[in-house]
Amino acid sequence: MSKNLTSRAEDYSKWYNELVVKADLAENSAVRGCMVIKPYGYAIWEKMQAELDRMFKETGHQNAYFPLFVPKSLFEAEEKNAEGFAKECAVVTHYRLQNDPDNPGKLRVDPEAKLEEELVVRPTSEAIIWSTYKGWIQSYRDLPILINQWANVVRWEMRTRLFLRTAEFLWQEGHTAHETRSEALAEAQLMNQVYADFAENFMAIPVIQGVKTESERFAGAEETYCIEALMQDGKALQAGTSHFLGQNFAKAFDVKFTNNEGKLDYVWATSWGVSTRLVGALIMTHSDDKGLVLPPNLAPIQVVIVPIHKTDEQLKQIGDVAKNLITEFKSKGISCKYDDRTTQRPGAKFAQYELQGVPLRIAIGPKDLENKTVELARRDTLSKENVALDGLADKIDGLLKEIQDTLFKKALDFRNSHLTKVDTFEEFKTVLNSKTGFISAHWDGSPETEDKIKELTKATIRCVPLDQEKEAGACVFTGKPSVGRVLFAKAY
């Protein structure tokens, strides 16, 4: 397989798929719509998990684990208040395989081993968790409950793409229970802010915080907060959501508590989640035609050292230099790999690490040994320079921070230059068909208009920005009055 990728200009979608596979991030599996996350891709997810987990715990949350399966009847309870609930899910109906009497060597489902009640593989865990919380909550003293779960979930998607949309994916789902409306609302907002901070400071992805319109809201939510990012092809990607669920789930599962005035009331709820989809967002925000570009804060390997030698003696000397550097790097919390494989030429290694987005590459050759220098290459700018060994760790420490900032600023510039205010529907369509990106426009607030625009342009309302300016205007489609602009885009 050629190491060269299809260019983004030629075919963005093909570029993405090739990059994911060639950079060893993930691949399709023998199971329709399910992916194998390979070690390098999983290492990025682990770095995301570690940081998010830290942020969740810092804001008072604890982890727990709830069953993979949800009895069908619990979905029925939920169904009553969430009409639009997705029903495309994996259903377990039997609990045994047996040797097939008609086909030696084959297995079949044992028809005798039928479950009395079918079990759904969780597409999300509100139902099983709220049926559990019912047993945990009697009084206001039992509140708040601030729980997060790291888990796999399954949604039977018809069209799947590695990381972006897969039948099974990994995610975290927070599920909290509160005494009051305002406390639950504040929690939903706080967690959306946590997601925004994580996206911007760790993933170097600028995001717009907003709320979803009614038709884009999570079924059962009273308000869905979200962070919306812009990919390099001008399409938006919802990177995380945080739902204020009101008392809907408490009512569906009959979860009441005695408040501090001694009165019974339903509990207030939130839920919030991000998934392995974030890896897709990371790739599509920063990478280029040479491959992955990773922000240093999430790079499994921040610096790679490649020896360039002709003799074993040279390799030994370079190895000594590398060893010292790694010790120095380690003391500064910089992760470094020394690649002294002799089965690969330096050129092949350079290509591999470029493809895999390692932020900094150090090459050390015989000349460098003499001059006490190294060749230092930046992945993001593809620039190279000769640098003194002396003080290298400090320089690298600074460079990693600079790269992190540069990537964020570059993505922010791109996003800002692809956010266009339009005031007519002609303009709206022209922008969508040329540079795409976010379109900031007035909307009359009706689902009918929203649907019609979607039908005509494939653009949806990504969010009503939290920092929306109050500005009287006329809906870009109907001309009816509007109080402020919302953001439209084509989306993943």
Tell me the number of residues near its own copies by CB under 8 A: 64
Per the listing, tokens 């402020």 go with 484
Please, which residue, 69 or 266, has the CB nearer to its own copies?
69
Cβ at position 282, least distance to its own copies in Å: 17
Site stretch for its own copies (CB under 8 A), options 101-109, 377-385, 404-412, 451-459: 101-109
Smallest distance from the beta carbon of 54 to its own copies, in angstroms?
Answer: 13
Distances from the Cα of 227 to the Cαs of 189, 230, 287, in angstroms? 11, 10, 20
| Identity of the residue numbered 453 | I
- With CB under 8 A as the contact rule, the residue among 23, 35, 137, 279 that binds its own copies is 35
CB nearer to its own copies: pick between 154 and 204 = 154
Q: Token digits for 458?
A: 């494939």
Taking the least distance from each CB to its own copies, the nearer of 24 and 375 is 24
Residues 104-163 that bind its own copies (CB under 8 A): 105-107, 109-110, 118-121, 128, 131-132, 135, 141, 147, 151-152, 154, 156
CB of 418 to its own copies, least distance (A): 33
Residue span 53-92 as binding mask against its own copies, x where in contact by CB under 8 A, dash where not: ---------xxxxxxxxxxx-xxx--xx------xxxxxx
Q: What is the DSSP letter of 342?
A: S
Q: Which is nearer to its own copies, 93 or 215 (CB)?
A: 93
- Using CB under 8 A as the binding rule, the residues of this chain from 318 to 357 that contact its own copies are 343
CA distance 191 to 213: 19
| Beta carbons of 463 and 226 less than 8 angstroms apart | yes
Touching its own copies, residues 1-30 (CB under 8 A) = 27, 29-30
Answer whether 423's CB lies under 8 Å from 191's CB: no
Q: Alpha-carbon distance 446 to 84, whole Å?
A: 18
Closest CA to 189 of 466, 488, 469: 466
61-80: b (≥16 Cβ within 10 Å) or e = beeeebebbbbeebbebbbe
For the CB of residue 194, give the shortest distance to its own copies in the complex, in Å: 19
SS3 assignment for 145-176:
EEEEEEEEEECCCCCCECCCECCEEEEEEEEE
Would you give the end-to-end CA distance of the chain in angstroms? 28
CA distance 480 to 252: 37
Residues of this chain that interact with its own copies (CB under 8 A) are: 27, 29-31, 34-39, 42-43, 45-46, 62-72, 74-76, 79-80, 87-98, 105-107, 109-110, 118-121, 128, 131-132, 135, 141, 147, 151-152, 154, 156, 168, 170, 343
